Amino acid sequence: MVTVFVAGRPLFVNDLLNLSDAFVAAWLPGTEGGGVADVLFASADGTPRHDFRGTLAMPWPGVPCPYAADGPGKPAAWLFTPGYGLRYAAARELKTLPTWPTVHACATPGAP
């Protein structure tokens, strides 16, 4: 299953990553949805029409409330750091990621 995640910023989605064979962050493509389809569907001979070129400009959270874990003396809770991104030739497997089904919101005053 390929998940196309349309959002304006990185969000905690470990449950979706666990369910997906491939995961694409589309970053609010607007009228450019065809560009997203171009990298998802192959040519008639099975070769990719276009490779992925985007990388993360911001870190991607690996825990529900990453800013609560980030601070002096505490490790950052990021699953992917800025600059992370894949190409078809460099596909990687992720291990099953932890999820926190009982966490529904983060209540950290001043967190972005």
Instruction: Residue 20: give its domain's CATH number.
Output: 3.40.50.1700
Q: Which domain holds residue 15?
A: 2-90
| Backbone φ, ψ for residue 17 (5° rounding) | -60, -40
Q: What rounded mean pLDDT belongs to the chain?
A: 80
Q: Across residues 71-89, what is the average pLDDT?
A: 76
**Distance, CA of 46 to CA of 42 (rounded, Å):** 5
**Confidence at residue 69, expressed as pLDDT on a 0 to 100 scale:** 59
In a domain, 99, yes or no: no
In a domain, 66, yes or no: yes
Question: What's the pLDDT band for 71 if we cut at 50, 70, 90?
Answer: low
If one counts the domains in the chain, the total is: 1
The per-residue pLDDT for range 16-67, each reduced to its tens digit, is 999 999 888 888 767 777 777 777 888 889 888 877 777 888 899 998 888 7
In a domain, 53, yes or no: yes
In a domain, 39, yes or no: yes
In a domain, 17, yes or no: yes
Among 33, 76, 32, 78, CA closest to 59? 78
pLDDT at 13 over 90: yes
In a domain, 102, yes or no: no
